[in-house]
Chains A and B, each alone.
Chain A
């Protein structure tokens, strides 16, 4: 039984690593790499469903790597939040792998698209599952290196320029993270996150703890694209292939948000008044700047990129309010946002293939020629804006309700206004791309030159998921509720990782 659990926790990391290695073995056969992508991610999805069910049953799953018990060895921990994030990686990975069959051409496959794709998924899953703060840094770097290479695949000028900003700011963030780890290790003498949480309770110099907390906040804030350090995101996310954009938009910034959730519930919960007040302001400013930035844009993917930023604000708002309902809302929001945002990017890729442009001014008349695509766009777009009965409505509803309960009126007001402005942006895209007539003088639908068949199933599948979460939200709500409980009751996490014996011996030593 225990061996089964151990394997189950490690598999979401091992499967993409193996699939990536096999893709390298079949370097010359692009067909083999393509199907390896689909099969590998499908397998990942199946395993992640098992992991979620098993985590639901047993609360916390812990695996001690190499048999070295925590806090000395590295642990992989799956609680509800991690399991939810892993299953979302599976969903988005599978969707983009299928989409890539039509989207990614020979030219990109020749430069190793598929091995990098799998490596990225491995890094993301590793970051979600690890229970060791330095290991988290290592997985971040695995993910970053893969994303750097995916971002510049193709080698166009815009990609180079975007990549320099992306690489620089993310490396600065990594170095701040590393500095913070060094100081934290100096303070506590351990790297295991549960052990750190126990030992920080004994540290008398709370000022130093808050300094370290701020270093983590800035570092993860850059990775999550929170105000004021989000400039790398709109500079780079619209430059690579659409399948890559969708994967980045779905998963990468959410790894930063996940790390914020993990660190600011488990480790830094001593000085909540101070740290979470700052998070609250960051959340509000992130929402506002993101949505206002989007209003000024007229390029399909740039609008979507700015909306990633504004939506990150809602998630951080959930964390900042720091009540069970707010954390629940934050988790629900992450879940809904990943599916919806990846779907919108996939749709932008399909319109590009049909019309040959990402510029709103050059697009038009798509509703007349492809009414089905118009409907499929409406589902994630309205969900993003938070219209019932779609998933996004419930996500916003929970967070705003949590805000009202703690009487954070300003935050509630900002969240509502940003929701309206999001609707404005989505309607703008709808009017320009689908409703208005094809502008004169710009060529009509060009023939894309290859089959677009595989672009449809992921878009339809993700749209159906959004509707399903909206109509049958109860299981998802319960999962988010459980993860909020676990995040706020840190003693359960700590006991699961360290074991009751170790905690007892620590308490005895203190006496």
Chain B
């Protein structure tokens, strides 16, 4: 299963970078979305994939069963998703405003500040 996840994550990173290298600012934001999803999957996979073993403490026990899933990694991903959502909402508004001001969906037109 880890192998499959590794390929999925690698593909997501590659796709994200490819999209970000395009000139269109809309594709740039799509690239950022893919990138944040790839990072979340890395956390998910790196913490260990466990199937059908929720981290529950059964009555009379003090600890959950030894091979149960790691809830912390999922809390991290949840936090990262929320933050990523907020930031991406900002990025979408930003490219919309930039499109209005510059009048083009093209990074090559946006070099006033570079010279």
User: For the complex, is A185 an interface residue (Cβ under 8 Å from B)?
Assistant: yes
**In chain B, what residue has the closest Cβ to A231?**
B114
Contacts of A137 in B (CB 8 A): 80
A128 to chain B, nearest CB (A): 19
**In chain A, what residue has the closest Cβ to B35?**
A175
> Which residues of A from 117 to 142 have beta carbons under 8 Å from B?
134, 137-138, 141
- The answer, among A161, A174, A191, for a CB contact under 8 Å with B102, is A161
Main secondary structure, interface of B, reads: helix
Chain B: how many interface residues by the 8 Å CB criterion?
38
**In chain A, what residue has the closest Cβ to B77?**
A182
Contacts of B101 in A (CB 8 A): 155-157, 160
- The answer, among A149, A156, A161, A238, for a CB contact under 8 Å with B110, is A161
A160 touches B97 (CB 8 A): yes
Contacts of A313 in B (CB 8 A): none
Main secondary structure, interface of A, reads: helix
User: For the complex, is A162 an interface residue (Cβ under 8 Å from B)?
Assistant: yes
User: For the complex, is B48 an interface residue (Cβ under 8 Å from A)?
Assistant: yes
A158 touches B94 (CB 8 A): no
In the bound complex, how far is the Cα of B39 from the Cα of A171, in angstroms? 12
Contacts of A157 in B (CB 8 A): 101-102, 112
> Which residues of B from 37 to 82 have beta carbons under 8 Å from A?
38-40, 42-48, 72-73, 76, 79-80
B87 touches A145 (CB 8 A): yes
Contacts of B48 in A (CB 8 A): 186
A178 touches B39 (CB 8 A): yes
- The answer, among A144, A171, A181, A185, for a CB contact under 8 Å with B35, is A171
User: For the complex, is A163 an interface residue (Cβ under 8 Å from B)?
Assistant: yes
Known contacts A181-B43, A182-B43; A175 and B90 CB within 8 A of each other:
no
B28 touches A168 (CB 8 A): yes
- The answer, among B46, B73, B86, for a CB contact under 8 Å with A145, is B86
User: For the complex, is A152 an interface residue (Cβ under 8 Å from B)?
Assistant: yes
User: For the complex, is B14 an interface residue (Cβ under 8 Å from A)?
Assistant: no
User: For the complex, is A421 an interface residue (Cβ under 8 Å from B)?
Assistant: no
In the bound complex, how far is the Cα of B101 from the Cα of A248, in angstroms? 24
In the bound complex, how far is the Cα of B36 from the Cα of A156, in angstroms? 29
- The answer, among B36, B76, B112, for a CB contact under 8 Å with A158, is B112
A84 to chain B, nearest CB (A): 28
User: For the complex, is B15 an interface residue (Cβ under 8 Å from A)?
Assistant: no
- The answer, among A163, A172, A181, for a CB contact under 8 Å with B94, is A163
In the bound complex, how far is the Cα of B111 from the Cα of A236, in angstroms? 11
In the bound complex, how far is the Cα of B98 from the Cα of A162, in angstroms? 10
B1 to chain A, nearest CB (A): 15
User: For the complex, is B91 an interface residue (Cβ under 8 Å from A)?
Assistant: yes
> Which residues of A from 39 to 70 have beta carbons under 8 Å from B?
none
B32 touches A168 (CB 8 A): yes
User: For the complex, is A423 an interface residue (Cβ under 8 Å from B)?
Assistant: no
**In chain B, what residue has the closest Cβ to A164?**
B98
Contacts of A490 in B (CB 8 A): none
User: For the complex, is A235 an interface residue (Cβ under 8 Å from B)?
Assistant: yes
> Which residues of A from 179 to 232 have beta carbons under 8 Å from B?
179, 181-183, 185-187, 191
In the bound complex, how far is the Cα of B114 from the Cα of A261, in angstroms? 30
B93 to chain A, nearest CB (A): 9
**In chain B, what residue has the closest Cβ to A135?**
B79
**In chain B, what residue has the closest Cβ to A174?**
B87
User: For the complex, is A148 an interface residue (Cβ under 8 Å from B)?
Assistant: yes
Contacts of B28 in A (CB 8 A): 164, 168
In the bound complex, how far is the Cα of B86 from the Cα of A155, in angstroms? 20
A164 touches B47 (CB 8 A): no
User: For the complex, is B95 an interface residue (Cβ under 8 Å from A)?
Assistant: yes
B86 to chain A, nearest CB (A): 7
Known contacts A171-B87, A175-B35; A186 and B46 CB within 8 A of each other:
yes
Contacts of B40 in A (CB 8 A): 178
List 20 contacting pairs A-B, 8 Å CB cutoff, sorted by A. A138-B83, A145-B86, A152-B94, A157-B101, A157-B102, A157-B112, A160-B101, A161-B111, A167-B91, A168-B28, A168-B32, A171-B32, A171-B35, A175-B39, A178-B36, A178-B40, A178-B43, A182-B46, A182-B73, A191-B72
List 6 additional A-B contacts (Cβ < 8 Å) besides A178-B80, A185-B73.
Answer: A148-B90, A152-B97, A160-B110, A168-B20, A172-B35, A187-B46
4 tightest A-B contacts by CB? A186-B46, A182-B43, A160-B98, A178-B39
**Which A positions have Cβ atoms within 8 angstroms of B?**
134, 137-138, 141, 144-145, 148-149, 152, 155-158, 160-165, 167-168, 171-172, 174-175, 178-179, 181-183, 185-187, 191, 235-236, 238-239
